[in-house]
């Protein structure tokens, strides 16, 4: 069985079945220079300039992802703010507490400007790139920029039923495929993050849409969810 080709480039190898089960992108994704990382915009073909009307505040896309939890907008996220953010998204007190403990125990120290730990366990948004863990989708680069090509790969490789949305098990297949050897923390973190994402963003049919996932990467979906929840209670 010969490898499939995109022009003169082979994208599958006969002795590597995984290259067939996880197809590479061979078509134009409709976006200029998709291989160039975007510092402040989570872009795709439908949103070449990122999320319309969304204020990035000069943050990288990774910083935008967590800025929702900076409830007083001072550039530092404290544990109680993370708890408030989770609760604002609809998580109960137990889940909000678990999320708070896991995130701050893992991400506070790498973001500090000092070698001395802080008993307040703050997360400094300016340094959040230091807390990027392994075994992830690599949509964020090591500086926190957004890689459009890697974002599209999520769907080309793992969205089997519908290329515009994903099921829970497709997301879990992705987390398994992205595992780096000898990285148990990354494995657990990735499973946990995408499980929470699915619970938060799934529709009535049990899918998470591509647009919702894009909004998760730049944090804009969190603001939308909070506003919808507030509207329902009024």
- Residue 189 domain-assigned? yes
- Are 138 and 231 members of one domain? yes
- Are 69 and 111 members of one domain? yes
Domain C-terminal end among 131, 165, 186: 131
Per-residue confidence (pLDDT) for residue 8, from 0 to 100: 76
The tens place of each residue's pLDDT in the chain, 234 residues long, gives 444 555 579 999 999 999 999 999 999 999 999 999 999 999 999 999 999 999 999 999 999 999 999 999 999 999 999 999 999 999 999 999 999 999 999 999 999 999 999 999 999 999 999 999 999 999 999 999 999 999 999 999 999 999 999 999 999 999 999 999 999 999 999 999 999 999 999 999 999 999 999 999 999 999 999 999 999 887
Beta-carbon neighbour count of residue 189 at 10 Å? 20
7 closest CA partner among 21, 19, 24: 24
- Are 189 and 155 members of one domain? yes
- Are 121 and 157 members of one domain? no
- Are 105 and 158 members of one domain? no
- Residue 125 domain-assigned? yes
Domain C-terminal end among 131, 151, 181: 131
Domain limits for position 220:
134-234
Per-residue confidence (pLDDT) for residue 233, from 0 to 100: 83
- Are 143 and 211 members of one domain? yes
Number of domains in the chain: 2
- Are 153 and 210 members of one domain? yes
Query: d(Cα 189, Cα 5) in Å, to the nearest integer?
Result: 35
- Are 111 and 166 members of one domain? no
Beta strands in 34-162, from DSSP E residues, in sequence order: 76-77, 123-124
Per-residue confidence (pLDDT) for residue 234, from 0 to 100: 76
Residues 6+ apart with CB under 8 A from 116: none
Per-residue confidence (pLDDT) for residue 2, from 0 to 100: 45
- Are 233 and 139 members of one domain? yes
User: What's the token pair of residue 192?
Assistant: 């946990």
Strand partners, 16: 13
């Amino acid at each position: 069985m010969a490898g499939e080709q995109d022009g003169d480039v082979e994208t599958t190898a006969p002795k590597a079945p995984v290259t067939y089960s996880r197809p590479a992108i061979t078509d134009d994704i409709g976006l200029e220079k998709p291989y160039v990382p975007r510092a402040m915009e989570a872009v795709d073909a439908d949103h070449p300039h990122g999320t319309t009307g969304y204020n990035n505040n000069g943050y990288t896309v990774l910083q935008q992802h967590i800025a929702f939890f900076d409830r007083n907008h001072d550039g530092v996220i404290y544990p109680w703010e993370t708890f408030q953010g989770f609760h604002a998204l609809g998580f109960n007190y137990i889940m909000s507490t678990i999320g708070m403990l896991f995130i701050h125990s893992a991400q506070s120290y790498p973001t500090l400007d000092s070698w001395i730990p802080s008993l307040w366990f703050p997360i400094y948004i300016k340094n959040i790139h230091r807390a990027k863990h392994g075994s992830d989708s690599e949509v964020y680069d090591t500086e926190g920029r957004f890689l459009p090509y890697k974002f599209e790969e999520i769907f080309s490789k793992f969205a089997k039923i519908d290329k515009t949305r994903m099921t829970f098990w497709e997301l879990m297949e992705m987390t398994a495929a992205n595992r780096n050897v000898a990285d148990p923390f990354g494995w657990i973190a990735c499973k946990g993050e995408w499980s929470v994402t699915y619970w938060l963003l799934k529709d009535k049919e049990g899918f998470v849409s591509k647009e919702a996932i894009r909004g998760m990467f730049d944090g804009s979906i969190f603001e939308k969810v909070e506003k919808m929840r507030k509207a329902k209670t009024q």
